[in-house]
Chains A and B, each alone.
Chain A
Amino acid sequence: KNQVEQSPQSLIILEGKNCTLQCNYTVSPFSNLRWYKQDTGRGPVSLTIMTFSENTKSNGRYTATLDADTKQSSLHITASQLSDSASYICVVSRWGGNTPLVFGKGTRLSVIA
């Protein structure tokens, strides 16, 4: 079954600290993996997209890693800011089919002062 599992479900960190969010998937055939940021009451916004050949991709203070062999990805946030408080969603795209994108449930991050 095509699934995307994220951990932890929720996380609270102090402003300025780093954190890492995890994503494990069982989606096949694998095409690409995406991380989205979703602010409360808003639509998801893309942070990174990686294919199987890309191990690391950065977008400012966000760095995503991908291990296609173990089917794991992580999103590392450096020097967190209050504005990083949001849900972070891991999404895996597969080739073909009517539902090419498989969404994780997200990790809810709260950054506090």
Chain B
Amino acid sequence: NAGVTQTPKFRILKIGQSMTLQCAQDMNHNYMYWYRQDPGMGLKLIYYSVGAGITDKGEVPNGYNVSRSTTEDFPLRLELAAPSQTSVYFCASSYSKVSSYNEQFFGPGTRLTVL
């Protein structure tokens, strides 16, 4: 199993540009998550999904959109990139609710810089 994969690893955007961060998992997990990690800060939840066709906002959803058309894929869309979105983005997945003792698996991350 490849686990959770993310592409690209690095990206530089200009202000106002848009892009999609890709995330895929091959563990047949129902739950998928997007986090951002700013320097010296804890991870913050952007969006999550409990299954195909179902998504919901996390702590910091503004400026982002997601979709979940399949169990495997959970792309994150930035429509109008802003410098405040410079961060490292992590995708994660779990079989079921993390509040129910389920392990969460993380991807390797995408480092995004907006100039």
Q: How far is the CB of B55 from chain A (nearest CB, A)?
A: 11
Instruction: Enumerate chain B residues within 8 angstroms of A63, measured Cβ to Cβ.
Output: none
Instruction: Give bound CA distance, A96 to B57, whole Å.
Output: 14
Which of chain A's residues has its CB closest to B40's CB?
A105
Which of chain A's residues has its CB closest to B105's CB?
A46
Which of A32, A41, A44, A89 is close to B101, meaning CB atoms less than 8 Å apart? A32
Tally of contacts, chain A with chain B, CB under 8 A: 60
Instruction: Give bound CA distance, A100 to B31, whole Å.
Output: 13
Q: How far is the CB of A69 from chain B (nearest CB, A)?
A: 20
What residues make up the interface of B, taking CB atoms closer than 8 Å to A? 4, 40-45, 48, 56-59, 90, 92, 97-101, 103-109
- A-B residue pairs, 3 tightest by C-beta: A43-B106, A103-B42, A31-B99
What residues make up the interface of A, taking CB atoms closer than 8 Å to B? 4, 31-32, 34, 41-46, 49, 51, 89, 93-96, 98-106
